[in-house]
Amino acid sequence: MAPSKITLHSITQAGVIKGQQDHLALSLQLINGLSFKKWFTGIGVGVDDYQYRSIPLFLDVRRNLQWGRTGFFVYADGGISFPWAVKKEEQASIYVFKRGLYSDIGIGHTFKINRTNAIILSGGYSIKKLIKERTNFYYLNGNKILERPELYYYELKRVLFKIGFQF
């Protein structure tokens, strides 16, 4: 019996996100990590274009569930969602987006091409949290007399489907 070895893998994924909004949004991810036996752990970064564009930075953990020749896996991602929204100035307000939590759990199937390369299909449930701070300015005779910040908390719950390549 050969000893198990640690191997380096990269996973590149593209997907669609569907939530309470009427449109589909795009998701792109790049994950680099190590696999040992039936486990994979890596660091991922991506682009999440659902409602407010953001860049999730996350830890990805996967467990392969091999039954014969089928290659199912379960995964869990957790990290921080950094907003990629630009400051938006209006007449008497300024909007600034702040980071929040990012999570994604799901199941997938691996279609092996050879020992190290594979095509991956997966589906999961994701939550993206962001904070929007809006500062209102009040003026009297052209002079700013009061700044009043308001915080809006977004918890975006969505379903996503991804296709990717592992090498």
Q: Is residue 137 one of the residues assigned to a domain?
A: no
Question: CA 7 to CA 116: how far, in whole Å?
Answer: 9
Q: Is residue 152 one of the residues assigned to a domain?
A: no
Give the amino acid at 53. R
Chain segment 35-64, per-residue pLDDT in tens: 998 999 999 999 999 988 999 999 999 999
Question: CA 125 to CA 123: how far, in whole Å?
Answer: 7
CATH number at residue 40: 2.40.160.20
Q: Is residue 15 one of the residues assigned to a domain?
A: yes
Q: What is the pLDDT of residue 86?
A: 60
In the chain, how many domains are there?
Answer: 1
Chain segment 90-139, per-residue pLDDT in tens: 455 677 889 999 999 999 999 988 887 899 999 999 999 999 888 887 77
Give the amino acid at 9. H
Q: Is residue 39 one of the residues assigned to a domain?
A: yes
Higher per-residue pLDDT: 160 or 22 = 160
Q: Is residue 145 one of the residues assigned to a domain?
A: no
Question: Residue 90 contacts by C-beta under 8 Å, 6 or more apart in sequence?
Answer: none
Q: What is the pLDDT of residue 142?
A: 78
Question: Residue 98 contacts by C-beta under 8 Å, 6 or more apart in sequence?
Answer: 83, 130, 131, 132, 133
Question: CA 13 to CA 23: how far, in whole Å?
Answer: 20
Q: Is residue 146 one of the residues assigned to a domain?
A: no
Q: Is residue 119 one of the residues assigned to a domain?
A: yes
